[in-house]
Amino acid sequence: MIAADARAAIKRLARLNAFIALTDEDGEGPLVAVKDVVDVQGMLTTTGASARGLRPAAEDADVIRAIRSGGCLVIGKTNLSVNVACANPHYGRVLNPRDERRITGGSSGGSAAAVAAGLCSWAIGTDTGGSVRMPASLCGVVGFKPTLGLVSTQGVSVLSPTLDTVGVLAPGVRTAASAIALMSGRPELVSEEVGPAFGSYRLGVPSRWLTGLDHDVARAWRGLETNAEEVAVPDLERMVATHKRIVRPEAVLTYRDRLSGDADYHDQEVQEYLEIGLRLGAVDYLQARRERERICHEVEVAMLGLDALILPTTPCVAPVYEEGVHPDDDLLRFARPFNVTGQPAISVPVPGTGLPVGIQLVGRFGEDAKLLQMAQALEQLLLATFPEGGTSPR
């Protein structure tokens, strides 16, 4: 992609509110959109808040240095919001390119919209509880959360040091794999060999998790024929509750300077989120950390003999946005558990003419290369199973 052409396209589609700021970098090559929690030298890092009083970053984050070493250009900083609708009071609501009346999902909604609209080659996001995978699913792109710690968070404003992972949004699995290989300095994550057919992998579906699917997601799930067996992983509500008891106190520690009540600086929703974290005591937080260790062990045991877990990424397609009404964070219920365990997880879009649906694969801790190879096989299976309106992955 040529940077000047991409900037022109971004300006033509400014109504999407996908970007907060653009660079003046020039040239041709992979153009990367960067969620505005990542430091890019000479640019402000707003984290979605007011830019008042901020100074430009003195240097690139580790991940930006890594992608530059691979010949990538940064095209700009993408919009974000802590709420599921990705409705930012300072930079506007991010519109879903697949249906502008609908939400993109958050918090990496700007990155997902930029990829879905073809405004960049791929994009960087962060995933604390589904913030890469959920918007990827709602916008019809690939969203990959690697194993916890695989990609450096130096120079990244993370919400929760225990749970946060730097991830990627891309138009196809191979592009996502190449991006993560660059970001992590692990070229072996990109396999030149054709892997086994998807049906040869042994898959598990979390038992008693898949309730409340909407019509579109249920239809796509029924149409995907796999050899998956039900697996007794920990209770979904237990895993989600553990996630919340960890992320909220850590968010307070990360953003304690924002507990000012200044509505011009930060929106009221963020303020309330942080105040909930303040009310959680140290004992409750430490108990949640201990519970996390138990959950990780139980999931590891449950997956013995399995290659991956498979399930929908979200229980429904992107809801229509309603002013002043933010969708319930139930959209994240299939994604949050795997931030607790730190496992690699990827959302692969189901091709078709309807609203986007994502299928999530969850690999064993540290087995990112295998998961990416499986995801490429899943992508091919989905294209063969749902060919109507499908496009070839890039």
The percent helix, strand, coil of the chain (3-state, each to 5) is 35, 15, 45
What does the block give as tokens for 215? 């019509």
In whole angstroms, give the CA distance from residue 385 to residue 12: 35
How buried is residue 41: exposed, middle or buried, by Cβ count under 10 Å (0-12/13-18/19+)? middle
CB 124 within 8 A of CB 63: yes
What does the block give as tokens for 243? 């996630």
CB 154 within 8 A of CB 121: no
* Active site (annotated) includes residue 244: no
Q: Which residue has the tokens 């919001």?
A: 81
What does each C-alpha distance from 108 to 104, 224, 244, 250, 339 come to in angstroms?
A: 9, 27, 19, 19, 15
* Cα angle: 144, vertex 150, 152; to 5 degrees: 105
Catalytic member of 81, 111, 121, 131: 131
* Active site (annotated) includes residue 107: yes
E strands, 147-275, in order? 165-170, 203-206, 229-231
Q: Residue 103: phi, psi to the nearest 5?
A: -75, 160
Nearest to 340 by CA among 391, 301, 379, 289: 289
Instruction: Give the type of residue at 349.
Output: P
Residues 6+ apart with CB under 8 A from 275: 259
Catalytic member of 35, 77, 145, 370: 35
Sign of the CA dihedral with 109 first, then 114, 117, and 121 last: negative
* Active site (annotated) includes residue 347: no
Residues 6+ apart with CB under 8 A from 127: 108, 133, 143, 145, 164, 165, 166, 167, 335, 339
Catalytic member of 77, 81, 107, 347: 107
DSSP labels for 364-377?
A: -TT-HHHHHHHHHH
The set of catalytic residues is 35, 107, 131
